[in-house]
Amino acid sequence: MGRVGETARDESRQLLHEELREALPLLELEVRLSAPLTELGGLGSRAVAQWTGEGVLRVSALDVEGVWTRDDVAVTRREHDGGVVELVVATCTGLSIDLGHAAEAVEVLDSFVDYAHFLPLLDPHRASGLAEDVEERCAGGGERLVLLDRVELAPAWRGMGGVGRLVVGRLLGWLATDTRLVALQPFPTQFSGAGEVPGFAEARTKVQQVWGSVGFTPWRHHIWCIDPGSRPLVDALAQLEERLGVAEDQPGLASDSGV
């Protein structure tokens, strides 16, 4: 009986993924940047901009039926006048740092727990603003460091072969204009803190492997980095597009920048 139930669940999930895959080419990417006009202190430094990226499906309220009524197909839903419903499939957040003002950026990162672990990447005493062994990883130029903090993919879209990685990779492509390096600290979100609890090491390794599959490589302090113009990232995204069936129909982009 258990095997029958498991088989039925697998078949149901396969049908769900087939329907979601058909909608994938309609996914739109949105990037929002926010930075102050004047110095405000804290994250008010002009050296640092906060960014948010989303993968969004827009559907008519009249079409919200069947699979689209499921709670797990969206991280959040937004209803607008005119009967349009936005299903936010994926979200990611982070910071964009002006390396020309690395000293200010150090002060900002040092004051926020969520970003303090990225401090070793910066060296305000160097012309590049980056630590020497980080700069060696960068083949190109660029005046910005992009930090990727949190990524969330709606549960229904997981296990499809890389939807989350494709969304993040394409968002980084839009963010990476004039960017020298992208960095993140792979961490399994089901755990809080880095305590040695059962399953943590295995879960962290799995997350690291996911980011490694698109070209990120380990540095120090559990930080992983990538040159956004690197061949491994370009090739990995092309393979994901082919696997997911969107190689010819690229998702759109609606950019709303607060800067």
For the stretch 145-201, pLDDT in tens is: 999 999 999 999 999 999 999 999 999 888 877 899 999 999 887 776 655 678 888
Sign of the torsion angle spanned by Cα atoms 7, 12, 16, 21: positive
- Rounded Cα distance between 58 and 181, Å, is 32
* pTM, two decimal places: 0.85
Question: Which residues does 192 contact at the CB level (< 8 Å), separation at least 6?
Answer: none
Q: Which tokens go with 136?
A: 């060696």
Tokens 């390794």 belong to 205
Q: Residue 41: pLDDT above 60?
A: no
- R_g of the chain, CA atoms, integer Å: 20
Question: How many domains does the chain divide into?
Answer: 1
Collapsing DSSP states into helix, strand and coil, what is residue 153? strand
CA atoms within 13 A on the CB side of 190: 10
Q: Which tokens go with 38?
A: 């004047």
pLDDT band at 38 (very low <50, low <70, confident <90, very high): low
Instruction: Give per-residue pLDDT as tens, 93-113.
Output: 999 999 999 998 998 888 888
pLDDT band at 259 (very low <50, low <70, confident <90, very high): very low
Q: Residue 258: pLDDT above 60?
A: no
Question: Which residues does 196 contact at the CB level (< 8 Å), separation at least 6?
Answer: none
Q: Which tokens go with 191?
A: 């755990």
Closest CA to 138 of 121, 151, 119: 121
Closest CA to 92 of 182, 172, 179, 173: 172
Q: Which tokens go with 101?
A: 């003002």
What percent of the chain shows pLDDT beyond 70?
85
Q: Which domain holds residue 130?
A: 2-255
Q: Are 217 and 183 in contact (CB under 8 A)?
A: no
